[in-house]
């Protein structure tokens, strides 16, 4: 590690431990990467199951909830608190690395951790937003602080709002036990800072894959992600319909599943076989299918904290057209590795897509540039280096806090 070169014992905490979302896949990859470097790592998660049939891959688990009692559990999950106490006594970690803990584990874990260095690497906005997305129901980005506005805007139900306010009160009370907080992107860090959270930037890494082959006809557009409203896929279909009017041979492939699947299939029906829904794909299958893509689209409406699909596409050597919101704004280099467009603007999206599907050499050039950026800034190895350095700073911050008497007596 950067300052003192020691291997450490890391206890990782995350709400979910199944390989069903980007945050979970990142945590699992981080655990495995740190273990490969010689660190001792344990991952403790809840046993909550969001997608049936997915295996629980954490090393330890506690009880989680996805039923109507979940709002109460997010305030105080006592089983999670017991599990954390057990791991502190048994594993004796040098540092605790938290990713998500406010959907299942609850703030109750924080006072238990006051005598060990704690890094909180926020993977969602739950610490500053009850629905975790900083997005209003009508698709507008939210720029107000959490409070009554969340209820008045219809972002959450009354029970969920009440639970979230209680959770945030506990988080304010016990936040002092977090020695270092980090966000996944500069844009995410700005939103946290506006809500009173001074944070560093500690982004994700992606696996290195082979450079895709040279592009061939027909021009293909790719999308990978959850089929849900905030992902902006309705905007994508509207924009691609306009592209087809000018480039009828273009094709769009959509990988993923979610609550909007049937609605999206109905919207795409008039476009015939120009649009194909692939369903959920494994990582290797997705890479194989998208190796022929001229451009990958990330049309999100919400502030994606990072947006793993963007550097993954760049690592493959694929140009990216993304909404200028959230982490995409920090990752995509406009007119160099792809294009940034206003979120929800189908016409702007269509214009940029058309530029790329009618100019193979531009797509090749931007794809090559994106790959170089991904290899340098977003590789898994680079991300692990940054995490190890963050562990150093967190441990030193904790030592300094104890040295100057900031750490309080152990909570009951």
Whether residues 396 and 274 fall in one domain: no
**Spatial distance between the Cα atoms of 323 and 327, rounded to a whole number of angstroms:** 10
State residue 410's pLDDT score.
Answer: 34
C-alpha 121: how far from chain center? 11
**Spatial distance between the Cα atoms of 116 and 350, rounded to a whole number of angstroms:** 51
Whether residues 254 and 129 fall in one domain: no
Q: What does pLDDT average to over the chain?
A: 93
Nearest to 122 by CA among 61, 17, 202: 202
Nearest to 330 by CA among 303, 356, 351: 303
Full DSSP string of 87-103: HHHHH--SEEEES--TT
Domain presence at residue 113: yes
Full DSSP string of 7-51: --EEEEEES--SSSSHHHHHHHHHHHHHHHTT-EEEEEEE---SS
pLDDT tier at 366, thresholds 50, 70, 90? very high
| pLDDT tens-digit map of 2-18 | 444 589 999 999 999 99
Cβ proximity of 337 and 320 under 8 Å: yes
Q: Domain count for the chain, please give it.
A: 2
Domain presence at residue 164: yes
Nearest to 126 by CA among 96, 109, 141, 106: 106
* Mean pLDDT value of segment 210-223: 97
Whether residues 234 and 309 fall in one domain: yes
Whether residues 13 and 96 fall in one domain: yes
State residue 408's pLDDT score.
Answer: 41
Domain presence at residue 336: yes
Asked whether residue 409 carries a pLDDT value surpassing 80, the answer given is: no
Domain presence at residue 146: yes
What is the span of the domain harbouring residue 76? 9-205+380-403
Whether residues 236 and 334 fall in one domain: yes
Neighbours of 341 (CB within 10 A): 26
- State the CATH number of the domain containing residue 172: 3.40.50.2000
- Looking from the CA of 358 toward its CB, the CA atoms found within 13 Å total 12
Whether residues 188 and 312 fall in one domain: no
Whether residues 38 and 182 fall in one domain: yes
Whether residues 366 and 396 fall in one domain: no
Whether residues 195 and 306 fall in one domain: no
Domain presence at residue 360: yes
Whether residues 181 and 242 fall in one domain: no
Whether residues 170 and 195 fall in one domain: yes
Whether residues 254 and 327 fall in one domain: yes
Domain presence at residue 51: yes
């Amino acid at each position: 590690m950067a300052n003192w070169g020691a291997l450490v014992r890391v206890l990782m905490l995350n709400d979910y431990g199944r390989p069903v979302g980007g945050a979970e896949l990142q945590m699992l990859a981080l655990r495995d990467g740190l273990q490969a470097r010689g660190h001792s790592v344990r991952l403790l998660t809840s046993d909550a199951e969001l997608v049936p049939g997915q295996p629980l891959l954490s090393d330890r688990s506690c009880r989680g909830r996805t039923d109507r009692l979940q709002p109460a559990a997010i305030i105080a999950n006592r089983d999670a608190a017991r599990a954390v106490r057990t791991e502190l006594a048994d594993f004796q970690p040098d540092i605790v690395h938290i990713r998500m803990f406010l959907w299942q584990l609850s703030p109750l874990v924080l006072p238990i951790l006051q005598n060990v260095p704690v890094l909180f690497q926020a993977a969602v906005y739950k610490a500053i937003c009850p629905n975790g997305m900083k997005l209003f129901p009508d698709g507008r980005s939210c720029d107000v602080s959490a409070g009554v506005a969340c209820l008045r805007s219809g972002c959450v139900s009354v029970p969920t709002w009440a639970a979230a306010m209680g959770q945030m009160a506990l988080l304010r009370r016990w936040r002092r036990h977090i020695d270092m907080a980090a966000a996944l992107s500069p844009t995410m860090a700005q939103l946290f800072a506006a809500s009173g959270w001074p944070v560093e930037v500690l982004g994700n890494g992606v696996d290195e894959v082979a450079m895709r082959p040279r592009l061939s006809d027909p021009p293909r557009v790719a999308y990978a992600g959850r089929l849900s409203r905030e992902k902006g896929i309705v905007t994508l279909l509207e924009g691609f319909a306009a592209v087809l009017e000018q480039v009828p041979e273009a094709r769009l492939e959509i990988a993923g599943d979610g609550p909007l699947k049937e609605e999206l299939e109905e919207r795409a029906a008039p476009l015939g076989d120009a649009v194909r829904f692939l369903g959920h794909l494994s990582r290797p299958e997705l890479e194989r299918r998208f190796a022929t893509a001229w451009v990958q689209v990330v049309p999100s409406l919400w502030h994606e904290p990072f947006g793993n699909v963007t550097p993954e596409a760049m690592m493959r050597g694929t140009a990216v057209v993304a909404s200028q919101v959230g982490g995409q704004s920090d990752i995509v280099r406009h007119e160099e590795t792809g294009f940034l467009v206003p979120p929800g603007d189908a016409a702007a999206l269509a214009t940029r897509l058309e530029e790329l599907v009618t100019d193979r050499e531009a797509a090749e050039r931007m794809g090559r540039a994106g790959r170089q950026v991904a290899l340098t800034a977003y590789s898994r190895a680079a991300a692990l280096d940054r995490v190890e350095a963050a562990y150093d700073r967190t441990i030193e911050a904790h030592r300094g806090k104890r040295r100057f008497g900031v750490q309080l007596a152990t909570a009951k």
